[in-house]
Every structure is written in C-alpha cells, then in structure tokens.
C-alpha cells in the first residue's frame, strides 16, 4: 500500500476514533510490512515497536526483548569492563606510588641494590655454614663406618644424627637457592619499574642502567628437571661438568651434593653442586654455585670473569649442547 495512503488511513483513524485511539503502535512483521494498531498482537510480544500519540507522533521506542544468551553476553561484557576499569585504577595508583617513592632512576636502582645486598649477605652466611655442617656429617659417617668395621650395628641415635646432618645440608642449600630466586625476582621487578618510571618521566635508557640490568639476567646455573630418570641423567652430566671445570679437588661426592674444597686463591674455581627435590620427589632442581674464600664476601665479589663463565655455561652444557671450555684449556676433555 502506498505510504501516503497508510498515513491517510492513520489520520482518519485518529480523527474518527478519539476515544478509542488513546495509544497507537507501529510495528513491523516478519515480512517487513509496517502496521499501525491500537494494541500489540500476541505474536509480536517481545519484538521491537514504537508507541505513538493520538496525533501520530513518536512517544517511545520499545526495543525487542533480548534472548537469555544476549543477556548473559551483556553481563559478561559488563563484568569485563568493570575489571578493566579496576586494572586501570590500580595502574594509576601504582604509577603514583612509583613517582612518590623515587625521584630518579638512580634512586630506584640504589633501593633495589640494597634489597639484593641483604639477600646476598644471607646467602653467603648460609654458604659459610656448609663446611661446618659437612665436617659434622663426615665425623658421624666415620663413626658409623668404624662400627661396621667392628661388626657392630650402627646405633639408632647415630643413624638419626646422620640423617639430621644430611637434612640440614639440604635445607641450607635450599635456602641458598631460594635466595638466588628472590634476587632474580627483584631484578625482574627492577627492570619493570625502571621501564615504567622512564615512560612516566619521558626518560631514555642509559648505558649505566642497562649494565645494571644485565647483571640480573636469567640464572643459567639452575636446571629444573622431571621425571626421575631425566633428573638422574642431568645430574650425572652436572657432576661431569663440575669435574671438568673445578680447579680444586672435590671434597664431598654425595647422592645429592658434590662439593670441592674451599678456594685457596681468588682465581680458584671451587664449586657446590646440589640436587634439591620437590615435596612429591618427582621433580627436582639442580643448582650449581661458586664457593667463596670468605663467608662474608658477596657473590659478585668472589667471582672472577672465568668463574662467571663457568656458572653461565652450566645449563647450556648440561642440557645437551657443547659445554664451555675449562679455564686455561682450548676445549673440554
């Protein structure tokens, strides 16, 4: 029907029936035909329509009723928008804290250095306790060996003391490893904070900043392993690595600890290799560390360039690639 005719009928309807035409509705059927009625047919319930005045003016547009799926999608979108807004506010608050806490890049680096130094000090204290623990264990084992030579059973208390001494060494090594991982996490945090601080202050990185960050790159002296047979394979390769690179004799060769004697000179490469198990005993960590001449020295203070290379080449060599050459040699044996 022509649009003018429809409008004419609408006007006649309005004029002819003033009492009955208090509200009109404009709706479109499934075939796209436009209808004007004084009520919405049941078949159109929930679909979009327009409510009109007696004069044929649009009063209100009523959208269609959304499906349950659409309602659920909108709820999910609202939830995500709320989370996004919360993250933005958290980011703003973190930025403000960063700017209030540090005046410059040097302030940020110095604060991180202080935290690293505190952890490093505790690591060196733990390392310093290992020789004493090892001496006690060796004495207990010698006492047990003497009993066996005399065909006497090992006393239960002695056996328990040996187990406690072994456990104490493992706990100390675990503490050292945790300290190293804390240092790594701090360096990652420093790198993240430095990047954001520069963005907020519109600063460019300097060679000094980058050198500070390079010192905190991933730990190449730690290997995670599972399952048991793979841990054992890597453990044997790690022992061979220590034998190749240590320049002082091995003092302890236990099931989970291999340790050289303490270094006599600064250039000596003295190592501690440990295998630490997760509580489920199915996953382990193989950890190589350098022994320092003094338990009071920081980790960096007791490492020459050659010693650094030994630690840095550990994971690559043990996991199957060509190991780095030993100090003073052209290649590994």
**CA neighbor of 218 nearest in space, from 257, 188, 190, 179:** 188
Q: What are phi and psi of 289, to 5 degrees?
A: -140, 165
| Helix/strand/coil for 171 | helix
Quick check: 101 pLDDT over 50? yes
Averaged pLDDT, 167-183 = 89
Averaged pLDDT, 298-321 = 80
Quick check: 93 pLDDT over 90? yes
Q: What is the mean pLDDT of the chain?
A: 80
pLDDT, greater one: 142 or 36: 142
Percent pLDDT > 70 in the chain is 78
* pLDDT at residue number 19: 44
Band (pLDDT 50/70/90 cuts) for residue 6 is very low
Quick check: 246 pLDDT over 90? yes
How many whole angstroms separate alpha carbon 321 and alpha carbon 313?
10
Whether this model's pTM surpasses 0.85:
no
Residue 277 to residues 24, 103, 167, Cα–Cα distance (Å): 79, 43, 12
Tens of pLDDT, residues 17-60: 444 446 777 777 777 787 777 777 777 766 777 777 666 677 67
Calculate helix-pair angle for 156-201, 207-214, nearest 10 degrees: 160
Ranges of beta strands (E only) in the chain are 24-28, 34-37, 49-52, 58-62, 222-225, 250-253, 257-260, 271-277, 284-290
Band (pLDDT 50/70/90 cuts) for residue 234 is very high
**CA neighbor of 208 nearest in space, from 300, 111, 110, 297:** 110
Tens of pLDDT, residues 204-215: 876 555 555 554
């Amino acid at each position: 029907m022509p649009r003018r005719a429809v409008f004419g009928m609408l006007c006649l309807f309005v004029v002819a029936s003033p009492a009955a035409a208090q509200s009109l509705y404009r709706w479109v059927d499934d075939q796209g035909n436009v209808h004007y009625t004084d009520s919405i047919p049941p078949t159109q319930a929930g679909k979009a329509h327009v409510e009109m005045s007696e004069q044929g003016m649009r009063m209100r547009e009523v959208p269609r009723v959304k499906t349950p799926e659409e309602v659920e999608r909108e709820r999910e979108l609202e939830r995500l928008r709320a989370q996004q807004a919360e993250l933005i506010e958290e980011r703003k608050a973190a930025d403000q804290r960063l700017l209030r806490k540090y005046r410059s890049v040097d302030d940020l680096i110095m604060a991180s250095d202080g935290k690293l130094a505190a952890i490093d000090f505790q690591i060196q204290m733990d390392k310093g306790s290992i020789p004493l623990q090892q001496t006690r264990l060796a004495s207990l084992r010698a006492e047990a060996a003497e009993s066996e030579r005399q065909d006497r059973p090992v006393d239960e208390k002695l056996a328990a003391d040996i187990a406690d001494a072994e456990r104490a060494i493992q706990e100390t090594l675990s503490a050292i490893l945790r300290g190293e991982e804390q240092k790594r996490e701090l360096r990652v945090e420093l790198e993240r904070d430095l990047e954001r601080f520069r963005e907020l202050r519109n600063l460019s990185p300097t060679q000094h900043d980058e050198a500070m960050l390079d010192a905190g790159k991933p730990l190449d002296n730690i290997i995670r392993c599972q399952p048991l047979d793979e841990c054992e394979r890597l453990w044997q390769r790690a022992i061979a690595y220590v034998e190749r690179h240590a320049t002082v004799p091995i003092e302890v060769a236990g099931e989970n600890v291999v340790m050289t004697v303490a270094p006599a000179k600064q250039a000596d490469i003295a190592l501690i290799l440990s295998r630490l198990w997760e509580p489920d005993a199915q996953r382990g960590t193989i950890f190589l560390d350098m022994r320092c001449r003094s338990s009071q020295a920081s980790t960096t203070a007791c490492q020459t360039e050659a010693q650094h290379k030994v630690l840095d080449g550990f994971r690559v060599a043990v996991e199957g690639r060509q190991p780095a050459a030993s100090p003073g040699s052209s290649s590994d044996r």
